[in-house]
Chain A
Amino acid sequence: MYEFEYHRPANLDEVGRILGAREEAKIVAGGMTLIPTLKQRLAHPSDLIDLGAISSLRGIREEGDRIVIGAMTRHVEVERSAIVQRGIPALAALAGHIGDPAVRNRGTIGGSIANNDPAADYPAAVLALGGSVKTTKREIAADPFFTGMFETALDPSEIITAVSFPKPQAAAYQKFPNPASRYAIAGVFVARFPNAVRVAVTGAAPCVFRVPEMEAALSRSFSADAIKDIKIPEGGLNTDIHASAEYRAHLVGVMARRAVAACG
């Protein structure tokens, strides 16, 4: 780790002030991604602004037919939340399979989404559920939010405050984990709404993406059979020592069918 100044402000205004004053400042939430990066000296922020003391960023509440989760809410809190378990059980289950207990007790939904790791789980949920990301400046819909590998629509001084999810009729997430890291080699989140079905894929490509062909087929007939002949093109999918693009393309199909089946 390189040296940095550590701040733990009590409100967002103070965060904004420090971010404005210090060009190389960085926000730390759960630190599960950022701290390993710092330890490997892959980042060199001048200041670290810990969001941990800002209570308004934490917590889960229902707002009509939506569930709003504060950015600093930890994975374990989403997993165990009665509101999430009732309203979007697939999201609670997803949170319960992120990393290991230590990671789930520190990592936050805001941090995960801001980071947009190509193999992370939450981005699939946000995109498939058609959630929106609330920030200190605006509210960004899921589709324009995830822009590329580790890239989002956030501008450098923008902070995620919460993520808002509409409650689906049914939803399910199926993840084929990387045996080493347990991140997704291919993870598919399927969400069914009265007027639409959304399918989002993580782990397979440089960035989470939707599968319009599957969505259309499932909108016509919501069954695993309806998508059994839909092949995901390999082009643009990742190949690494863990899985080829061909295998990932295949797994997306299998996970999607299983997710549809799991929607009941």
Chain B
Amino acid sequence: MAEIGRAVKRREDLRFLTGAGTYTDDINRPGQLYAYIVRSPHAHARLGGIDASGARSSPEVVAVFTGNDMAADGVGGLPCGWQIHSKDGTPMAEPPHPVLAVERVRHVGDPVAVIVAESLGAARDAAERLAVQYTELPAITDPAAALKPGAPRVWDDIAGNLCFDWQLGDAAAVDAAFARARHVARIDLVNNRLIPNAMEPRAAIGEFDRASGEYTLFTTSQNPHVIRLLMGAFVLHIPESRLRVVAPDVGGGFGSKIYHYAEEAIVTWAAGKLKRPIKWTAERSESFVSDAHGRDHVTHAELALDAGGKFLALKVSTIANMGAYLSTFAPAIPTYLYGTLLAGTYTTPAITVETKAVFTNTAPVDAYRGAGRPEATFLLERLVDVAADELGIDPAELRRRNFIPKDAYPYQTPVALQYDSGDYRATLEMALKAADYAGFEARREEAARRGKLRGIGLATYLEACGIAPSAVVGSLGARAGLYEAAIVRVHPTGSVSVLTGSHSHGQGHETSFAQLVADGLGIPIETVEIIHGDTAKIPFGMGTYGSRSLAVGGSAIQKAMDKVVAKGKKIAAHLLEASEADIEWKDGTFTVAGTDRAKTLGEVALAAYVPHNYPIDELEPGLEESAFYDPKNFTFPAGAYVAEVEIDPDTGKLSIERFTASDDFGRIINPMIVAGQVHGGLVQGIGQALLESCVYDKETGQLLTGSYNDYAMPRADDVPSFALSTHATLCTHNPLGVKGCGEAGAIGAPAALTNAIVDALKPFGVRHVDMPARPEKLWRIIKEHPARAAAE
């Protein structure tokens, strides 16, 4: 048995790899119509009249709807799930977010109208005949510029485009510490804006059943229950009992499929109006302008150190781009998922962070793999390297001097979090050894002989995952709880169905959750089925993001299994004519202690469903238990990454020669799935560090990186083979001891790589290089430095 810890092959892969998956666009409903969304070509414009007569002229066009039509029908705006308060106590500016724009369009891609037709081609043809009057207005896309006096206003009544001005930490303590500091390291940096690009573009099918009055939405979501709640309660006013949301196979999300999007409400609402199913599927170029983007921070930070290199205090000031509207979780990302992470792995006793969130004429920005934590890690780990360089201390040594020691848990940071466990020194030493840090200088010299600039960089990271204790996040502004739900259903013949509120869109839950249940119930893994993604089947769920599935969803399953076993004991005691206290549970069998009298789980299940010989006065028949699990704390995965790069000074072209990752994810259920998650995260982190960048034209607000011709995604030959290792300190507060691994790579890689690049370019007097470190940027640094210029 012992499935936990085994590299079980992913059970879902046969289906995915042979084209047998069922993604939303694979679903076709009888009588289905097609929706095409007409979007704003302008970054900012007054919306005049919309003349749909031309669009309606084709017999294939069934309907054209605009924002006014939806407003007249009482449709609400898209809600924001998190409220932040500014440091002066005022709530954030929370502008309306109509499903289809009314009066104004505020970013390129803002939905303006929907055309519903018998075929997608007819809908697209009609879209070209839709006459929309726009009066262009000045646009602003740069978050720092948006705060400046005289900047165009995204919202007339929001002065300075300021959404909120938030602060966390003891500013007075920080000032005092800076006053006695021996050294202050400073950095200004930009965390580049990213476009998520899940492999499967978003899609949605709305359906209305005239017989039952029930709506169904098939959608590419990471959290179908959240969509049901938000869309049902706030937008379309449909009770949960009459709204089913199905998120079938979903091809990647990375955060971008958490949010409730306009198209989901449009197809559901229009299906009710037209009494026919309606499908919408994004084209890739549509995804570029309509999916929520990620990151986009401008930051100044200062670190105070004493003579021994101990961190005394950290002061951070960030401007965060929210885009034109507040996406579902947007306000939480540059605040409670960012500022609270600024202690990282270090004992910094005083920290203050302020974040100004601003509106701009760009697509909304929300969580993207790591969400706030990559931004925190990048600035902290860059700043530590700057300090190490200025003080002449080896970067690894400076980190060692400041690590939270492994016997200091629980450890209260000055920015609200209490870490339960960790051993940052262990993962750092593992990574340094595996990367042969000690032997680097020889490799640098060998590279120099080949005319290449070689650099090494390291970064540690710590993330808050297993999101999240409901009461805690509630006190911080969340408008939802963040527990998870599960049902464990033992069938009469002993096979088991597990219904989970977590959602798998690439994470492999059908395998790792089955491993958990196989061991927990002592049954073969083949007899366990994991079901997710349908509000009609699953009791409730908050979904998958923030590396929460195993830590929270898995813990809910564990709780439900515990209840199954508890009930099973009672049944076994009856069947074995023993006292319940004498029943021992092990490896799928209930045994009377000290005897060989035993009943298997299957036998107990059969007795529960065929209760002829059964304690029917005390126990209900059946063997099915549900559980909700609300975590007691966040989990705190952490680790250390080492990157080694070479730069060709003639062209600025960079290659990653080595990449070493050592992670602490707590207990590991499936090491192969974990390695896959780390690989994926690292590649996304490498993408951010070297290649990816969302660029809007500063004048017109047009998206200049609106396709793969211009938006550089990382490919297999952009990345090296990764050297991975793990070291486990167990999470102390969830029953599985697990911490989560989905985001780590994306969090730690950008800092490690950028540190390596800065190290390689040290001869050219470089202190910092903003991401992405594209070849021309590196070439210019080299070329413009006097040392090089003289050599030329």
Report which A residues bind B (CB closer than 8 A).
1-3, 40-41, 176, 178-181, 241-244, 247, 250-251, 254
Q: What is the CA–CA distance of A3 and B58 in the complex, to the nearest angstrom?
A: 15
A-contact bits for B98-139, CB 8 A (1 contact / 0 none): 000000000000000000000001001100100000000000
A-B contact pairs, 17 of them (CB 8 A): A1-B121, A40-B285, A179-B690, A179-B718, A179-B774, A179-B775, A180-B705, A180-B710, A180-B712, A180-B713, A181-B708, A241-B695, A241-B704, A243-B776, A250-B779, A251-B651, A254-B651
Give Cα A1 to B775, complex, Å.
37
The listed residue (A176, A180, A247, A254) touching B709 by CB distance below 8 A is: A180
* A134 CA to B217 CA, complexed, in Å: 56
Q: From residue B411, how far is it (CB to closest CB) to chain A in Å?
A: 41
For chain B, residues 123 to 165, give those with C-beta under 8 angstroms from any C-beta of chain A. 124-125, 128
Chain A residues with CB under 8 A of B708: 180-181
Instruction: Report the minimal beta-carbon distance from B743 to chain A, rounded to whole angstroms.
Output: 24
Nearest B residue to A100, CB-CB: B715
Q: How far is the CB of A259 from the nearest CB of chain B, in Å?
A: 13
C-alpha spacing A244/B775, complex, angstroms: 11
Determine whether the beta carbon of A179 is less than 8 Å from that of B712: yes
**Contact of B188 with A by CB under 8 A:** no
In the complex, the answer to whether B779 meets A247 with C-beta atoms within 8 Å is yes
Give the shortest distance, in Å, between A244 (CB) and chain B (any CB): 7
Interface residue ranges of B708-740 to A (CB < 8 Å): 708-713, 718
Give the residues in chain B near A3, CB-CB below 8 Å. Answer: 121
Q: Does B650 contact A (CB under 8 A)?
A: yes
- Which of A178, A180, A242, A244 has most chain B Cβ within 10 Å? A180
In angstroms, Cα B776 to Cα A176, docked, is 11
Min Cβ gap B556→A in Å is 42
Residues of B within 8 A of A2 (CB): 125
Interchain residue pairs A-B with the least CB separation, the first 3: A180-B712, A179-B712, A181-B709
CB distance from B59 to the nearest CB of A (A): 15
Asked if B434 is an interface residue, CB under 8 A from chain A, the answer is: no
> Given the complex of chains A and B, what is the CA–CA distance between A212 and B695 in angstroms?
37
Query: In whole angstroms, how far apart are the Cα atoms of A2 and B690 in the complex?
Result: 38
Query: Is the Cβ of A254 less than 8 Å from the Cβ of B650?
Result: yes
Cβ-based interface call for B391 (8 A) = no
The chain A residue sitting closest to B777, CB to CB, is A247
Q: Does B426 contact A (CB under 8 A)?
A: no
B47 contacts the other chain (CB 8 A): no
Q: Does B691 contact A (CB under 8 A)?
A: yes
A contact residues around B128 at 8 Å (CB): 41
Alpha-carbon separation in the docked complex, A240 to B599 (Å): 73
| Minimum CB–CB distance for B701 against chain A, Å | 15
Taking the closest CB of chain A, its distance from the CB of B687, in whole angstroms, is 10
| With A41-B128, A180-B711 already in contact, 10 other A-B pairs whose C-beta atoms are closer than 8 Å | A3-B121, A176-B653, A179-B690, A180-B691, A180-B710, A180-B713, A181-B709, A242-B710, A250-B783, A251-B651
Instruction: Provide the main secondary structure of the chain A interface.
Output: loop
How many angstroms from the CA of A40 to the CA of B704 in the assembled complex?
16
Give B643-672 as 1s and 0s: 1 = Cβ < 8 Å from A's Cβ atoms: 000000011010000000000000000000
- Tell whether, in the assembled complex, residue B705 and residue A241 are in contact, meaning their CB atoms are under 8 Å apart: yes
- Residues of A contacting B775 with CB < 8 Å? 176, 179
Which residues on the B side are within 8 Å of A244 (C-beta)? 776
Please name all residues of chain A whose beta carbon is closer than 8 Å to the beta carbon of B718 when the two chains form the complex.
179
Contact B774 A41 (CB under 8 A): no
Given the known interface contacts A1-B121, A176-B651, A241-B704, the answer about A247 and B710 at a Cβ–Cβ threshold of 8 Å is no
Q: Which residues of A contact B711 (CB under 8 A)?
A: 180
With a CB–CB cut-off of 8 A, which chain A residues contact B704? 241
Minimum CB–CB distance for A131 against chain B, Å: 27
Q: Which chain B residues border A181 with CB–CB below 8 Å?
A: 708-710
Residues B764-780 near A (CB distance < 8 A): 774-776, 779-780
* Smallest CB separation, A105 vs chain B (Å): 18
CB distance from A173 to the nearest CB of B (A): 16
The reply to whether B691 and A179 contact each other, CB–CB distance below 8 Å, is: yes
Interface contact A41-B651, CB-CB below 8 Å? no
| Complex: chain A residue closest to B708, CB-CB | A180
In angstroms, Cα B398 to Cα A157, docked, is: 71
Measured between C-beta atoms, what is the minimum distance from A239 to chain B in Å? 11
Complex Cα gap A175–B713 (Å): 19
Complex Cα–Cα for A1 and B713 (A): 26
Per the bound structure, the CA–CA distance linking A178 and B709 in Å amounts to 9
Contacts of B713 in A (CB 8 A): 180
B776 touches A247 (CB 8 A): yes
A181 to B, closest residue via Cβ = B709
Within 8 Å CB of A40, what residues of B? 285
Min C-beta distance of A195 to chain B, whole Å:
31
Closest to B711 in A: A180
- Distance in angstroms between the alpha carbons of A1 and B387 in the assembled complex: 57
- Give Cα A208–Cα B774 distance, bound, in whole angstroms: 24
Closest to B709 in A: A181
A41 touches B776 (CB 8 A): no
Per the bound structure, the CA–CA distance linking A194 and B693 in Å amounts to 47
Distance in angstroms from B594 CB to nearest chain A CB is 66
Q: Which of A179, A241, A250 has the most CB of B within 10 A?
A: A179
- CB-nearest residue of chain B relative to A258? B650
Nearest CB of A to B629, in Å: 43
CB contacts (< 8 Å) of B783 on chain A: these are 250
Q: How far is the CA of A247 from the CA of B652 in the complex (A)?
A: 10
Q: Which residues of A contact B709 (CB under 8 A)?
A: 180-181
**A247 / chain B contacts, CB cutoff of 8 Å:** 776, 779-780
Q: Which of B121, B650, B691, B710 contacts A241 (CB 8 A)?
A: B710
Contact with A along B753-792 (1 / 0, CB 8 A): 0000000000000000000001110011001000000000
Taking the closest CB of chain A, its distance from the CB of B716, in whole angstroms, is 11
Contacts of B710 in A (CB 8 A): 180-181, 241-242
The CA of A242 and the CA of B704, in the complex, are separated in Å by 11
Residue ID in chain B nearest A183 by CB atoms: B709
**Distance between Cα atoms of A247 and B780 in the complex (Å):** 9
Most buried by B among A2, A242, A244: A242
Q: Which of B691, B712, B713 has the most CB of A within 10 A?
A: B712
Smallest Cβ-Cβ distance to B718: which chain A residue:
A179
Q: Which residues of A contact B705 (CB under 8 A)?
A: 180, 241
Give the chain B neighbours of A242 by CB distance below 8 A: 710, 774, 776
* Complexed CA–CA distance, A208 and B690 (Å): 29
Minimum CB–CB distance from A97 to chain B (whole Å) comes to 11
A176 to B652, CA, bound (A): 11
In the assembly, what is the distance between CA of A180 and CA of B704, in Å? 13
In angstroms, Cα B119 to Cα A1, docked, is 12
- Smallest distance from the beta carbon of B111 to chain A beta carbons, Å? 19
Q: Could you tell me the distance between the alpha carbons of A223 and B690 in the complex, rounded to whole angstroms?
A: 34
Distance, CA A247 to CA B776, complexed state (A): 7
Q: What residues of chain A lie closer than 8 Å to B691, measured between beta carbons? A: 179-180
Give the residue name and chain of the A residue nearest to B713 (CB). A180
* Distance in Å: Cβ of A120 to nearest Cβ of chain B: 13
Residues of chain B with a CB closer than 8 A to A180's CB: 691, 705, 708-713
Query: CB-nearest residue of chain B relative to A243?
Result: B776
In the assembled complex, how far is the CB of residue A134 from the closest CB belonging to chain B, in whole angstroms? 31
Nearest residue (CB) in B for A247 is: B776
In the complex the two chains form, is A41's CB within 8 Å of B650's CB?
no
A140 to B442, CA, bound (A): 56
- Nearest CB in chain A to that of B124: its residue: A41
State the CA gap A179–B713 with chains docked (Å). Answer: 8
CA distance A181 to B715 in the complex (A): 11
Closest Cβ neighbor of A186 among chain B residues: B651
| Residue of chain A at shortest CB distance from B714 | A179
Q: What residues of chain B lie closer than 8 Å to A176, measured between beta carbons?
A: 651, 653, 775
Closest chain A CB from B707 CB (angstroms): 9
Q: How far is the CA of A247 from the CA of B774 in the complex (A)?
A: 12
Give the shortest distance, in Å, between B331 (CB) and chain A (any CB): 30
Closest Cβ neighbor of B780 among chain A residues: A247
* CA–CA, A2 and B780, complex, Å: 46
A145 to chain B, nearest CB (A): 25
Query: What is the CA–CA distance of A243 and B653 in the complex, to the nearest angstrom?
Result: 13
Report chain A residues within 8 Å CB of B285. 40
Complex CA distance for A247 and B784, rounded to whole angstroms: 12
